[in-house]
């Protein structure tokens, strides 16, 4: 079971990884990026986690299903 700390660490780590990739810093190895992505996804919030957060904090999160439906249009 993922703890709140692990989930938060995954979200912060994913943001840091995306920022690093967007800024073009460092050398990238496919295996390294894949390994980091897998480690972050292990505790990344699921759709149901996001939906529960959206109910509690509607000004911070939107329901994941609603966002996914908008992206498909």
Q: Could you tell me the residue ranges of all domains in the chain? A: 1-42, 45-73
**3-state SS track over the chain:** CCCHHHHHHHHHHHHHHHHHHHHCCCCCCHHHHHHHHHHHHHCCCCHHHHHHHHHHCCCCCCCHHHHHHHHHC
Q: Which pLDDT belongs to residue 52? A: 92
Span 28-67, pLDDT tens digits: 778 888 888 888 888 899 889 999 998 999 888 888 888 7
Reported confidence tier of residue 11, pLDDT bands at 50, 70, 90: very high
- The pTM score is 0.66
Mean pLDDT, residues 5-15: 89
């Amino acid at each position: 079971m993922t703890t709140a700390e692990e989930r938060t660490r995954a979200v912060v780590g994913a943001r840091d990884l995306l920022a690093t990739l967007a800024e073009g810093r460092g050398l990238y190895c496919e295996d390294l990026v894949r390994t980091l992505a897998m480690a972050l996804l292990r505790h990344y919030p699921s759709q149901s986690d996001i939906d529960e957060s959206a109910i509690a904090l509607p000004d911070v999160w939107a329901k994941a299903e609603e966002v996914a439906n908008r992206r498909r249009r």
